[in-house]
Amino acid sequence: MEFYTYTLPNGIRGIHRQVRGSVAHCALTIGAGSRDEQPDQYGLAHLTEHAFFKGTERRRAWQVNCRLENLGGELNAFTTKEDTTIHATTLRGDFAKAAELIADVAFRSTFPEREIEREKEVIVDEINTYKDSPADLIYDTFEELLFEGSELSHNILGTKRSLMRHDGNAIRRFIGRTHTTDRMVFSTIGSFSARTAETVAARYFGSRPATVRDFERIAPAPQAPFEREIVKHTHQTHCIIGCRAYGSDDSRRLPLALLINLLGGPSANSLLNVEVRERHGLSYNIEATYTPYCDTGLVAIYFSSEHANAAQCVELIMGQLRRLRTEPLTSRRLSMAKKQFIAQLAIAGESNESYMLGAGKSLLTHGAMDTMEEVCAKIRALTAQQLTAVAEELFSGMSRLTYK
């Protein structure tokens, strides 16, 4: 069996994969992100992630930071709109130490006010860094417009004004409301048995009292397509063309993922890279991405170009979208797209850390993790008609945001 799953008495779930190697990876994925913030809490999920490293009942901040680093390992964390993840990488023999440290920062952090005030300034600097990068900022602005009025509309970092309102008590209230054991997964991968993984998890996570979330996320209301231009006085035009898409539990997300990879994935032979960059030389950077959330999703096609070339870039992109909507892929083209997508997934799976993080997210979201063989079988079964139907449904009502 490729994966071993278990559930602790308090509701925390675990997933383990045994592989050969001297390195171990582990992570606690918590189903709480920026979309779970209330209107007066914007930026709090991300601040909480930073505050985890500022001291616990057992350790000062420097001791948290040095615990694994002194052993050659590392501890880190990140926040998304739906999750907060604390993860560690160590040598196999230090796996239990990593698990203990993750449990310590997740459950026994003290959130000292002096440290929190200092960390706010660090996040303000992070916010300003994003403001100086239109290629990053435009994604946040596009989501604000696309999901306007919903939990998903505000960005993860928050604003300087909202951030300054938060303190240790605000963090504790947020954790009490959102960091419930029924929304936690401990994922592990390394050269040790499933029994060892479960025993270590029970030792460090099992004593946490069982808690259950008492609220539900609200799906965003429908939004009409829009076109918006914002003057930023940038050296280039930055543009996103996109739409809402399928959620992570929708069976159509796999054909959409294949379609987006074909359209503007990381390979140099993607349709948009060939058409816009290689054939016409109009843009150095063009890509397409698909981000699924639990109840909706986001398709975004981004490019940057000289101001005079932006209109032609848009025309070429819309032409490719129109072709995908009206002309089913040939058998040869579909077969090539499938082989490419499967190979990319297999290569990505060679990174044990990424594989482990994906397993935790999958168990949290779907309650299971497909094996690579199962994923490949589903991809091979996709038809050209399925891809055309997805393209017709989504690409016929695209929104556009432009920075100039």
| pLDDT tens for each residue of 331-358 | 999 999 999 999 999 998 889 999 999 9
Q: Which residues contact 149 (CB under 8 A, 6 or more apart)?
A: 220, 221
Token couple for 321 = 């979208």
Q: What pLDDT, on the 0 to 100 scale, is given for residue 311? A: 97
Q: What pLDDT, on the 0 to 100 scale, is given for residue 269? A: 94
CATH code for position 331: 3.30.830.10
Number of domains in the chain: 2
Q: What pLDDT, on the 0 to 100 scale, is given for residue 28? A: 98
Asked if residue 70 belongs to a domain, the reply is: yes
Alpha-carbon gap, residue 343 to 327, rounded angstroms: 25
pLDDT digits (tens, 9 = 90+) for 141-198: 999 999 999 999 999 999 999 999 999 999 999 999 999 999 999 999 999 999 999 9
Asked if residue 215 belongs to a domain, the reply is: no
Q: Do 170 and 74 lie in a common domain?
A: yes
Average per-residue pLDDT for the chain: 96
Mean pLDDT on 258-263: 97
Last residue of a domain, one of 173, 205, 237: 205
Q: Do 190 and 236 lie in a common domain?
A: no
Q: Do 86 and 130 lie in a common domain?
A: yes
Last residue of a domain, one of 172, 205, 238: 205
Asked if residue 210 belongs to a domain, the reply is: no
Asked if residue 364 belongs to a domain, the reply is: yes
Q: Is there a contact between 27 and 85 (Cβ–Cβ < 8 Å)?
A: yes
Q: Do 231 and 272 lie in a common domain?
A: yes
What is the pLDDT confidence band of residue 95, given thresholds at 50, 70 and 90?
Answer: very high
Does residue 318 have a pLDDT over 60?
A: yes
Q: Do 260 and 329 lie in a common domain?
A: yes
Mean pLDDT on 223-229: 95
Q: Do 275 and 368 lie in a common domain?
A: yes
Per-residue buried b or exposed e for 170-187, using 16+ beta carbons within 10 Å of the residue's own CB: bbeebbebbbbbebbbbb
Q: Is there a contact between 229 and 404 (Cβ–Cβ < 8 Å)?
A: yes
Q: Do 197 and 266 lie in a common domain?
A: no
Mean pLDDT on 378-395: 97
Q: Domain span at residue 289?
A: 227-403
pLDDT digits (tens, 9 = 90+) for 152-164: 999 999 999 999 9
Mean pLDDT on 374-383: 96
Asked if residue 211 belongs to a domain, the reply is: no
Q: Do 285 and 186 lie in a common domain?
A: no
Q: What pLDDT, on the 0 to 100 scale, is given for residue 224? A: 94
User: pTM of this prediction?
Assistant: 0.94
Asked if residue 219 belongs to a domain, the reply is: no
Q: Do 389 and 240 lie in a common domain?
A: yes
Q: Do 171 and 245 lie in a common domain?
A: no
Alpha-carbon gap, residue 180 to 111, rounded angstroms: 18
Q: What pLDDT, on the 0 to 100 scale, is given for residue 1? A: 55
Q: Do 309 and 358 lie in a common domain?
A: yes
Asked if residue 213 belongs to a domain, the reply is: no
Mean pLDDT on 199-221: 96
Type of residue found at 98: A
pLDDT digits (tens, 9 = 90+) for 273-286: 999 999 999 999 99
Asked if residue 218 belongs to a domain, the reply is: no
Q: Is there a contact between 298 and 242 (Cβ–Cβ < 8 Å)?
A: yes
- Edge-to-edge strand ranges of the sheet holding 184-190: 4-7, 13-18, 184-190, 23-30, 84-91, 74-79
Q: What pLDDT, on the 0 to 100 scale, is given for residue 349? A: 85
Q: Do 280 and 192 lie in a common domain?
A: no
Q: Is there a contact between 88 and 27 (Cβ–Cβ < 8 Å)?
A: yes
Sign of the C-alpha dihedral computed for residues 247, 248, 250 and 251 taken in this order: positive
Does residue 368 have a pLDDT over 90?
A: no
